[in-house]
Amino acid sequence: MCGRYASIKAPADLADEFRAVDATDGAAKVDYNVAPTKQIITVVERHPRDEEGTPDPDTTERTLRMLRWGLVPSWSKDPKSGARMINARSESAATKPAFRRALNSRRCLIPADGWFEWQRGPEHKQPYYTHYSDGSSLAMAGLWEYWKPKDDPENEYPNGLVTAAVLTTDAVGPLTQVHDRMPLVLPRSAWDAWLDPDAGADDERVAALLAPPSPELVAALELRPVSPRVNSVRNNGPELLDPLAAEDVREPLQLDLLAGPNPK
């Protein structure tokens, strides 16, 4: 699963990296401990609409948008379900009522500097931080949805609510020593196909991406044990990414990803 990650880069840098226009309107903040229900940066590609809401099928716009983490299906009676729907399994999203419409037409990328996962032992829970060793952003595959209540007497949602979920997949190779699931991380070569607003879930380019990452992608990752301070959402600072001293690590992992990329 993916329940915490770090989002450190400035929107301007992410816009360059993802070839997008920054539409976050200053709402994005550096966050070393992104947690569910927070506003997160996403990359969305859509056909622009005119003043009457008619899309232009000949043009697309790729933008950085702020969405709330925790997907609320359009048919939900209230937004509380979003706190539970932070992840969607890539193997079953196409058949799940909560996710199938979004998979078909509302896919996004969720940039991250790295994600946290917990190795659970009989008497401990050790957090690990995984990221690209070269500092590139991870592009986690995501889904987004628009929700608006039928009745809103107190005008709590005048513009509706736009939410997102992270797709997950089976962990690969050494990552399985931490957890059996991981975010569905897409290589740069897959970004265009995933974001294509005209490609449905049955498009072979999209369907092919709903699979665990390649050994080459995993080889570019680095993971390290970090302080259990990340367990609390109240803690939020660069020290959360610092490597934990070896003597403080419970049941250290035996893997090539630790402290560097896998050898070729």
Q: Active-site residue numbers?
A: 2, 117
- DSSP for residue 160: -
Question: CA 119, CA 177: separation in Å to the nearest integer?
Answer: 7
Distance between CA 149 and CA 144 in Å, rounded? 17
Task: Name the nearest CA neighbour of 7 among 131, 178, 106, 170.
Answer: 131
For 29, other C-beta atoms within 10 Å of its C-beta total: 14
Distance CA 257, CA 239 (A): 21
Task: Name, in order, each residue with C-beta under 8 angstroms of 150's C-beta and a sequence gap of 6 or more.
Answer: none
Closest of 150, 143, 149 to residue 186, by C-alpha: 143
